[in-house]
Every structure is written in C-alpha cells, then in structure tokens.
Structure 1
Amino acid sequence: MFDHIADAMKRPDVIHLDRNCHVLRFEMMKLYSALEAVRRLLDDGVVKPGDTLMDSSSGTYGHSLALACHKYGMKCRIVCSTKLDDTMRRQFEMLGAQVDQVAIPPGPLVDKMDQRARLDRVAEILDTEDDVHWMQQYHDDVHYLGYRACAELLHAEFGDGPLTLVGGVGTGASTGGITSYLRELGTDVTLVGVQPFESVTFGSEPVEDPVASIAGIGSPIVMRNVRYELYDRVHWIGFDAAAAATTALLRSHALYAGMSSGCNYLAATWEAAHAPERPCVFIAADTGHRYAENVYARPQADAAVDTLNPRRIDSLEQLTFPWSVMDWQRRTFRPAGAGRPRTTRPRYTAAPTARPNPTHEEVLL
C-alpha cells in the first residue's frame, strides 16, 4: 500500500515491444528525482519544514515538485512561461503551488528568451525573499539520487547485461543517474543520449529546426547536471521526425506517450537493429496528453517513419537535419556559454553539501 499518490505514480513498467526492443514506461519520470531530492534536502537540513521550494518549469518537473511538496508538507513555487496550459496551471495551484508565469514577446529566439526570462525571475525572487530554496533541477546533482531505484529495477530485469539504454538527455539526471547506478551494479550498459537540434548541451545550437525545437530533452542554456563522459552515442532528431515516431509508437504498440518518447523510440529502433544481440531499452518519460493538439492531431504524421534513417557523423561540424548520430565515446565536452567546469567525479553517491542559494549572477551563469 502506498502512503501518497506520488509514490504510486513514479514506478515505471518494463514492456517488451518486439525482438530486442523494450520500453521503460513512466507516468511521470521526474517524480523519482523530485521526491528523493526533497526527502534528502530535508534529512540533511539543507531545507526545513515550512520552507518554499522553487524551480523553473513549464512541464513535468514542476508537476513532480508540486506533488513532492504536497507529500512532505512544503510550500511550492513554480516559475513558468505563459506557454503553460490552463489545465496544468490549475493542477499546480490545486496542489498548493504558487505559479509565476513570465511573459515574453514572440519571436525567433522565443525558447532562449523564455529560459532567460524565467531565470531572471528566479534570481529576483532569491534576491528579495527569505526561506526560498531554488531546487536547481538543471544544476544540483541531488536530482541523480532518485534514479537508483530505476537502475535496480532494470538490473533485476536484465542482470549484468549487455544492455543499451536510450533516453532524452534533458538535465542529464535521468539517463546519467540510471546509467551510473547500473554501472555500479555491474551492468554492461551502453548509454545513448537523444537531443533536439538548437540545443547547446551537445553542441547542436547552430542547426535550426524549421518547425520547432523539442522541449524537455535539450536546452538553449547550459545545464551543469549533464555528465558528458557517461554517454557512448548521441542522436539528434528534428521535430517532424519525432512527431512521426511518436504517432507510430501509438499505432504500432498502443503506447500513448510524450514527444521525447517518440524521439527515444526512433533512436532505439536504429540501435536495436544495429545490435540485435543486445536488449535495447528506451525511456518513455510521460504520457501523451500534453501533445494531443500539436502531435496527435496529425494522424498521418507516422506515414513516412519507415523511410527515416540517420546520417552517421564523426564531428559536430557534420550535424545534418533531420537526424544525425555520432559515437560520443564517453568524451568530455564544454558547451558554448558554460561557466566554471564540472568536476568529472559525481558526488551524488554521498549526501549533498548544505549551501546557501546562489547569488543573482550565479543563477544566470
């Protein structure tokens, strides 16, 4: 029996799709990181009961943080863009979260301006208000901790491998955390990261997606939680190809999932075909309800999915739309605009260090 709905919602299912392809299917994956992060920060005295936990999110992390705060009796504040739909905003507010929606003018740099505007608002709140803790899902490796349970689940299913794990990179915590813990458990795991074009994370920002940049798996700002040395291979996938794969996933396997899941499915079908002796598991991080109007409203989008093939490249200068793949070989990387470099050794296996919130300038690094 569960004590709170968040505990029931977080646990994924491992589903066999065909041949050597499997899916790790979540209702809301980021509950793992949010729940464990809040619990650990309370246990270690970094925050205290009654404090306000805040982060910038217009999607599942904000929902996950609101649920975690509801469970642990904390106040919650979500800084988001005006793109947040009314259904999600009402859920945030009914869970007790305060919602700050930051408006930005439309234009070609809307995604980058959205992120910047939200971080400006976060910095303003930290400068002027007390008892507010910024959760820093992009930067604080406390968010790795919750994914130990996912790694243990996969290890129980697949043992010591070999195994290929495919997932959207995003903040780095999910794929990085699951893979790190799997390798600690002795699993021979190949980690495949999936990125959109226009993301600084793996250097695709010069390549424009003529339709839209895919939210959630990449970013126009630097995320320090990404540990590049964990990744063996990277796929970059455009919006139309992702939409085709997302609808194909529903039509072929009855899996109603978000757009990042479609990206991962497309990459995983290629990975599974090129290594038929290895089980391949891709992450489906959330359900498809947020994409009912912009992806699932195009029922013929999957018609061309069987014709899609990536271009294999050897350097970032060769990145080509709509789909490229490169052997990353666990190398390090310093994205454009990065502040101080990350250490190569993670500290998420130990308790996070208690520290004050960053200054306004540090928020904007």
Structure 2
Amino acid sequence: MDPFTELTAGTAASAAVLHPAPPAAAPELLALLGRTPLARIAAPLPHPHPGFWAKLEALGAGGMKARAAVSMLLGARARGELLPGAPVVESTSGTLGLGLAFAGQALGHPVVLVGDAELEPSMRALLTAHGARLELVERPARTGGWQAARIERLHSVLAELPDAYWPDQYNNPDNSAGYAPMAAEIGDALDHLDVLVCSVGTGGHSAGLTGPLRRRWPNLRIIGVDSIGSTIFGQPARTRVMRGLGSSIHPRNVHYEAFDEVHWVGPDEAVDSCRRLARGCFVTGGWSTGAVALVSAWAARTRPGDVVATVFPDGPHRYLGTVFDDDYCHAHGIGVSGPPADRPVEIPHPRAVEATGWTRCRTVLDPAETVLDPAGPEEGSR
C-alpha cells in the first residue's frame, strides 16, 4: 500500500500509513518560494475604477500558504518542537495543505492533512500527487461545522503519531512571520501605498503584511474582507458556500486593532467578480480572490488618487467546478435572484444586523473580548 494513500472516515489504516516514512529533504525548493508578480487590475468590478495592484500568489510554488508553511516548520524546528523527519499534521480546506506539501518536501517531513468531504476532487488529487496523506471527515460537527470536525479528527491522528507536530495555523505567530518577505516585495515594487485590502481566514497574511508596510507608510489604511456567515469579526457563524476565507472560530493571529474597517462579501458578489476578472484581465481566482478584488475596486473608486493593493491568494483551476460552473452556482442559489450588489450596505456595529450580502462596517472589534450572540455551525475555512 502506498503510505500516502487517501483515507476516508472509518477506513482501517495500516501501520505503514500511520507511520509514514520521511521523504528526503529537497532544500533547493526553497529558492522557488515567493517573488510573485504584482499586476495592475483595471477590469470593471462591476463599475469602472482607476485600478489597483494585486499580488498574484497563485504563480508562486506551493501557492500563498507555502510562505506560512515554511515559516511554521522552520520555527518549530528551531525550537525543537519538530524533530528531523517527524510527521506534520494539520487541518485544512486545501490551500494551506498545498503549502505544507511544498514545505514537507523541501524540509523532509511527511505531511498528513485532515480535510473534509467538501474538499474538491481536483484538490484531493493534487495534494496526494504531491505526497500528502489525506484524512477526510464525512460529516460536519453539530457545533462548529466542518472546521470543528476536522480538528476533532486531527487530535485522533496526533494520538496515533506521538512524535508528530501540529502547526495550529490559526494561533501560530510563525504563520504571520512567513509573510514578511511578501511585505518587502510589495514595498520594493511600489513608491507609495494608501490602502491594503486583505482577505481574512487564519489572519496570517493580514497580520504579516500590516506591521512592515505600516512602518514604511504609517498612514496606510487596512481593510479586512470576510465571508458572510463567518464569525471572525463578530457576525454569527452560519453554513457557508465560500471556502478559503472566514471561520467559525476566532483565530488569535487576527490583529483586530490593525483594521480600519471590515467588509463581508457573499457568494453572489464573489462569483461575479471572479468571472469579470477572467473576462476582463485574464487574472482571476476563487472565492477569496473575487471578494478582495470587489472591495479593492470599490476602494480605488471611492478614494480617488489613493494607491490600493491587495493579494490574490489563488488561481482559478481549483474552482472550475464551483465558481465558474453555472450548474453549481444555480444549485446553490448563486446569481438566481438578480444582479449582485454593486456597493456595500453599511452597518454601525458588527452586531447591528446579520450580513447576508456585501456589507461594510467601520467598527472593528475582537469578538473574543466582546459578548456576542451564540454562533451556529459553519463550513469552509483555510
């Protein structure tokens, strides 16, 4: 049996699968990390705008999350928490998994990824092709949805692999530290920056970019972009179609004090933006990319003269069966109720009303330090 054979819930695992042999390290791969292009985006989204800059992380080896994955594993090795050749186990909806597969090959660690039944077949195939072993949960938890179910399975895998290391991407400061080189790349490419728009899932890249870029440009405005149905910024957690941003937990990597405002974006708006990007400038991606593109175009349009930049976390290929598939969108009620919102509804406080579409709030709170309404289940996160 291939030691990296995909496993599903209830499948009996052989000793070889439970204790995968470490791959030979390939440190030369680290030279491929980062240095992605910064593209000028001018496609109407949906209105004409002056344009904004987008860091194209899909063009980097291992994707955007490879930066965080390498940083977390190197940090753990330096502290003695990750022994040479020991397994790495993490929960993921796909993107970090790809980054960890890259880091595992580069540094010589087998990688076990706990995903869920919503993980696209193409991403499953890609992760296993790169040598990761998959553990898939089949049902969401009653409280906390897919994310909670993945974490529960993760703990059972850790019990089987006592020498394994769990990066805990949501609460690991090395996650954020991995984006310092990206901040330097953006700073070196631009003479000035007024607004940075960041999607928020684990909080890693927004925290990692904000500090260095604000030291260079102290008046830099930071806009966070979340998914409707996510509880990160104090909204109630609900079942979500969008994967890759948002969460049902409050990651401690999110630096709430850094954000000037937050926007919640729905699947109607994200799909519309992704498709407009694909038709209008050839550069596009998935849910997170569509969401930040929409808000970046809005910022460029409503703040004339300001230089706006964002990060496109991924490309389109993973989403051909979802974002770019008419049957999928129709089955999930996306685009069936008319054109998506072309500007945000503004609310005074995250608890003022539940966001069901593009919504803006200039009051940003840490919900872990605020009494909030109980949250329901959710699905999908990085």
1:293 equivalent in structure 2: 321
Answering whether residue 280 of structure 2 is matched by residue 249 of structure 1, we say no
Distance (Å, rounded) in 1 between the aligned partners of 2:346 and 2:245:
20
Give the SS at the match of 1:80. strand
Which residue identity lines up with residue 283 of structure 2 in the other structure?
Answer: L
Question: For the residues of structure 2 that align with 1:286 and 1:36, how far apart are their CA atoms?
Answer: 19
One-letter code aligned to 2:103: A
Partner in structure 1 of residue 137 of structure 2: 102
Which consecutive residues of structure 1, in runs of 5 or more, have no partner in the other structure?
Answer: 339-365
Amino acid at match of 2:149: A
Asked whether the 8 Å contact 1:58–1:80 carries over to 2, the reply is: yes
Report the residue type matching 1:147 in the other structure: Y
Q: Contact 2:193/2:217 (CA < 8 Å) preserved in 1?
A: no
How far off is 1:77 after superposition? 0.9
What displacement does 1:321 show?
A: 2.4
- State which drifts further: 308-317 or 121-130: 121-130
Q: How does 1:223-238 map to 2 (within 5 A)?
A: 223-238=251-266
- Count of residue pairs brought into register by the alignment: 329
Deviations 1:239-267 (A, max 9, x none): 11111111111112111312210000111
Which runs of no fewer than 5 residues in structure 2 stay unpaired?
Answer: 1-25, 43-49, 373-382
User: For the Cα contact (< 8 Å) 1:272–1:278, is it kept in 2?
Assistant: yes
CA distance in 2, matches of 1:223, 1:271: 26
Q: Secondary structure at the match of 2:144?
A: helix
1:150 and 2:168 aligned:
no
Identity %: 26
2:19 match: none
1:139-288 matched pairs, under 5 angstroms: 139-159=171-191, 161-205=192-236, 212-288=240-316
For 1:96-135, what aligned pairs fall within 5 Å after superposition?
A: 96-104=131-139, 112-135=144-167
Question: Contact 1:242–1:259 (CA<8 Å) still a contact in 2?
Answer: yes
Read off the aligned partner of 1:266 and give its amino acid letter.
L
Of the structure 1 ranges 165-174 and 177-186, higher mean CA displacement relative to structure 2 is found in 177-186
In 1, Cα distance between equivalents of 2:123 and 2:51: 36
Q: 1:333 to 1:85 in 2, by over 3 A?
A: closer
d(CA) in 2 for partners of 1:308, 1:176: 28
**Separation in 2 of the partners of 1:201 and 1:147?**
20
Is this contact kept in 2: 1:49–1:74, CA < 8 A? yes
Q: Which residue of 2 aligns with 1:356?
A: none
Match of 1:10 in 2: 34
Q: Answer yes or no: is the 8 Å Cα contact 1:155–1:187 preserved in 2.
A: no
- State the AA in 1 paired with 2:346: R
| Contact 1:20–1:276 (Cα < 8 Å) also in 2 | no
Q: Are 1:162 and 1:187, in contact at CA under 8 Å, matched by a contact in 2?
A: no
Q: 2:371 and 2:117 mapped to 1: Cα distance?
A: 26
Distance in 1 separating the partners of 2:132 and 2:370: 34
Counterpart pick for 1:76 among 111, 132, 136: 111
Displacement of 1:163 after TM fit?
2.0
| 1:137 counterpart = 2:161 | no
The one-character-per-residue Cα deviations of 1:247-303 (angstroms, maximum 9, x if unpaired) are: 111112111312210000111111111111211112110011111112112399899
AA in 1 matched with 2:79 = D
Contact 1:155 1:182 (8 Å CA) reproduced? yes
Closer, same or farther in 2 for the Cα pair 1:47/1:253, shift >3 Å?
Answer: same
1:27-66 alignment runs, 5 A limit? 27=58, 28-66=63-101
What's the offset of the Cα at 1:12?
A: 2.0
Q: Structure 2 CA distance, aligned partners of 1:267 and 1:327?
A: 14
Q: Retained in 2: the 8 A contact 1:163–1:187?
A: no
The residue type paired with residue 287 of structure 2 is M
Counterpart residue identity of residue 17, structure 1 = I
Instruction: Give the direction of change, closer, same or farther, for the CA distance of 1:225–1:199 in structure 2 (3 Å limit).
Output: same
Q: Deviations over 1:315-358 (max 9, x none)?
A: 121344211111136x54427799xxxxxxxxxxxxxxxxxxxx
- TM-score, length basis structure 2: 0.78
Counterpart in the other structure of 2:353: 318
Partner of 1:308: 342
| Partner secondary structure for residue 149 of structure 2 | helix
1:218 is displaced (CA, Å) by 0.3
Q: 1:203, CA displacement in angstroms? A: 1.5
Contact 2:82 2:165 in 1 (8 A): yes
Distance 1:83 1:13, change over 3 A: same
For residues 336 and 133 of structure 1, the distance between their equivalents in structure 2, rounded to whole angstroms, comes to 32
Kindly indicate whether the alpha-carbon contact (under 8 Å) linking 1:164 and 1:191 is maintained by their aligned counterparts in 2: yes
Q: CA deviation at 1:228?
A: 0.7
Structure 1 residue 85 displacement after superposition: 3.0
Q: 1:26: how far off?
A: 0.9
> Is 2:51–2:297's contact at 8 Å kept on the other side of the alignment?
no
Q: 1:85 aligns with which of 108, 112, 120?
A: 120
Query: Does the aligned pair in 2 maintain the 1:162–1:188 contact within 8 Å?
Result: no
Structure 1 stretch 133-142 or stretch 123-132: which is displaced more? Answer: 123-132
* Post-superposition CA distance 1:131-170 (Å, at most 9, x none): 11111011111111111111111111224x3421112111
Q: Given the superposition, is the C-alpha separation of residues 126 and 246 from structure 1 closer, same or farther in structure 2, using an over 3 Å criterion? A: same
Name the residue aligned to 2:20. Answer: none
* Counterpart amino acid of residue 313 in structure 1: I
Contact between 2:349 and 2:362, CA under 8 Å: does it hold in 1?
no
**Which deviates more from structure 2 when the two are superposed, residues 119-128 or residues 25-34?**
119-128
More divergent stretch after superposition (29-38 vs 87-96): 87-96
State the AA in 2 paired with 1:117. A
Give the 3-state SS of the residue equivalent to 1:50 in structure 2.
Answer: coil
